[in-house]
Amino acid sequence: MKLRDLKDSVAVITGASSGIGQATAKALVEEGVNVVLVARSKDKLEALAKELGDRAVVKVADVADEVAIAKVFADVKKAFGGVDLLFNNAGVGYNNLFEKSTREEWKATIDANLYGVLNCTQLAIPLMRGRKGAMISTVSSVGGRYGIAGWSVYNATKFAVVGFHDALRKELGDEGIRVSLIEPGSVHTNWGFNVPADKMKERRESIDALHPEDIANALVFAFSAPAHVNVQESLIMPTRQISP
């Protein structure tokens, strides 16, 4: 399959300050893509943008903040005229038995993992029309397929994201806008609330967990596929991970 040339296309990446988002920004810039880096951490975004050079633009915003994220997309429209790729990567998750979990944890998880995706996606769609090969790609999780004890609210948001994308794909297919999900298993990132760092490190090393670059490469492949090819779902697991 001959892949598309991505040079000068425009990508909005949420959760871009670290982990998968950061790795994806680097991979896309290597392909000549202009990247809009969105996250809450100004210092981390500016350091990344300095490393990436002129193709990187920093936009500090919380994806759950409707006003802030609307300004991001208004600025993108003004600067670039449209969007070719939205990579919904921002997210959080609290490890806690549901009975012991708090409403604050519920809200933070739902705001980032679901409302953040909804906010960015709704704003991106009008900016994608007429742009060949446009794609909405979202990081879900193996936790969007299987429930995991201690991650109940996180699972709920990821199952919701899967259902949302299945419907959205059917809404936008006739317009040529692709809708894709990436569902990683264990990844070496700083992700994992309420989980001791040493326990997370031990778990990831025991199964030779994925690296952020592995997910970034999958995203670049899906985006660079011919416009008539939609990689609808990519479940990416470490070879040694035999359970969620």
Predicted pLDDT at 244: 76
Catalytic positions, written as ranges: 154
Lowest mean pLDDT across 75-79, 140-144, 195-199: 195-199
Q: How would residue 88 be classed by pLDDT, with cut points 50, 70 and 90?
A: very high
Q: What domains can you pick out in the chain, each with its CATH number?
A: 10-236 (3.40.50.720)
Question: How many CB atoms sit inside 10 A of residue 67's CB?
Answer: 8
Please compute the mean of the pLDDT values over residues 181-203 and round it to a whole number. Answer: 75
Q: How would residue 227 be classed by pLDDT, with cut points 50, 70 and 90?
A: very high
Q: Please name the residue that has the structure tokens 């708090």.
A: 102
Q: Which of 122, 165, 138, 135 is nearest to 227 (CA)?
A: 135
Percent of the chain with pLDDT over 70: 95
Percent of the chain with pLDDT over 90: 84
Q: What SS3 class is residue 238?
A: coil
Q: How would residue 206 be classed by pLDDT, with cut points 50, 70 and 90?
A: confident
